[in-house]
Amino acid sequence: MTDARAILAKLRDGDTPTEAELFWFAEGLATGAVSDAQAGAFAMAVCTRGLGPAGRVQLTRAMRESGQVLKWDLDGPVLDKHSTGGVGDCVSLVLAPALAACGAYVPMISGRGLGHTGGTLDKLEAIPGYRTQVSVEDLQDLVADIGCAIVGASGDIAPADKRLYAVRDVTGTVESIDLITASILSKKLAAGLEALVLDVKTGSGAFMADPADALALAQALVDTAQGAGCMTTALVTDMNQPLVPSAGNALEVIEVMEALTSGDLSTPLSRLTQALGGEVLALGGLAADAADGEGRIARALGSGEAAEVFGEMVAALGGPGDFTDRWRDRLPAARVMVDVHPGDAGHVGRIDTRALGEAVVHLGGGRLRQDDRIDLAVGLTDIARIGDRVDPQRPLARIHCASEEAARAVAAQVRGAFTLVNDAPGAPPLIHERIA
């Protein structure tokens, strides 16, 4: 008879539990049959001993099957994207409607801010009235009608992961590649996807700052997703500077709306959206290859079709019906704006992107505790990029905040995030590696 103690003893001794044992443990996490102490011991044992590639696939499948797995009957492929998180990374809000405009269906189950990184759901809640929590049935109806919906996970999706994630957060086991992989993919694959593209960040603002660690995670995610039956490609992308020159919830929605409505396809946000979209359109059979897929995404952005889909999604989820036309009037704005200037003139040689993300959190744009209320209007704009020249006329960034006191509290942190040099360095590549 299977029991938690026997499974934990196996892991302690360096053995991988069987598929049946991992399914039993995931079910126990979901139902409460596994205690908090046993869940913590499991997380620590996996973190220190590892599961190996086959065990990683089995744990992912077991956690996916611990709740509801969506089934679809649609006239196009069900596709999605996941990012490991960064600063100024608002690709999801641009990519989901662009994919839908190309004929895909996108049930994008997203999360909130984690540490110094922004959360997709928090950004969307800057749009007045937008509902991020819907039932599984409503999610399926929205995706079928509009082509995409960006919402939070319901309690029915991968409940084993929700339980294990909470335990990992307080047991020092967040960094395990096995547990990260199973956590990300169990939720994504429970959405019934046919194909997935992954954006694995590396650099000063990423959780995997070291490129070798990011590459290892990307490979583990691709191998595990494909082992669990979902066609997947990963791009290892740069987070040595914010993706867009803004960080903060409403401020990043402004960047999203500029990307959807301006027709400018040359910005880093637009270019990365095209690259990720091209990969997953090819996997889903809607493009001949990634290059063809990039062209299709570019046309959806340039023509305004993606913006139209985004507006339909916002209205269907409770936001303003005229958001794509009146977004400048609809988003919250901070009362105070303060520029941060460098001590000397020079070129930006390096950015501590994590420090910029932490500055936004300390302004109130993220959570220091789980129950903190977010100020959706605060953050940074006009963030200088690597290679830019800055001086008393060209600031490092502009702080948006509730008071002059709040600006003074983070100004030194923002200034300290930038290292200046005499000669302008080249910009880091937007995409470092592709894992297929």
Instruction: Report the alpha-carbon distance of residue 410 to residue 144 in Å, rounded.
Output: 45
Cα–Cα dist 11/267, whole Å: 47
Contact indicator for 331, 248 with CB cutoff of 8 Å: no
Inter-residue contact 99 to 277 (CB < 8 Å) = yes
State how far the Cα of 182 lies from the Cα of 309, in Å rounded to an integer.
Answer: 31
Q: Which residues are catalytic?
A: 80-83, 120, 168, 183, 187-188
Q: Are strands 106-110 and 148-152 parallel, antiparallel or unpaired?
A: parallel
CA dist., res. 66 & res. 186, Å (int)? 9
CB 406 within 8 A of CB 248: no
Q: Are strands 148-152 and 195-202 parallel, antiparallel or unpaired?
A: unpaired
- Taking CA atoms, 346 is separated from 388, 419, 426, in Å, by 8, 9, 14
Place of tokens 């939720």: 187
**418: phi then psi, degrees, rounded to nearest 5:** -110, 130
Task: Indicate the burial class of 369 (C-beta count within 10 angstroms; 0-12, 13-18, 19 or more).
Answer: exposed
Tell me if 113 sits within 8 A of 376, measured CB to CB: no
Angle of the 91-101 helix axis to the 249-261 helix axis, nearest 10: 30
Residue 391: Cβ within 10 Å count? 12
In our burial notation (b when 16+ CB lie closer than 10 A, e otherwise), range 87-109 reads bbbbbbbbbbbbbbbbbbbbbbb
Match 């936001």 to its residue by tokens.
319
The count of C-alpha atoms lying within 13 angstroms of the C-alpha of 183, restricted to the half-sphere facing its C-beta, is 23
Pairing outcome for strands 79-83 and 195-202: parallel
Q: How far apart are CA 108 and CA 78, in angstroms?
A: 10
Cβ distance 131 to 317 under 8 Å?
A: yes
And the tokens for 54?
Answer: 């086959």
CA-CA distance, 325 to 315, in Å (whole number)?
12
CA distance 55 to 64: 14
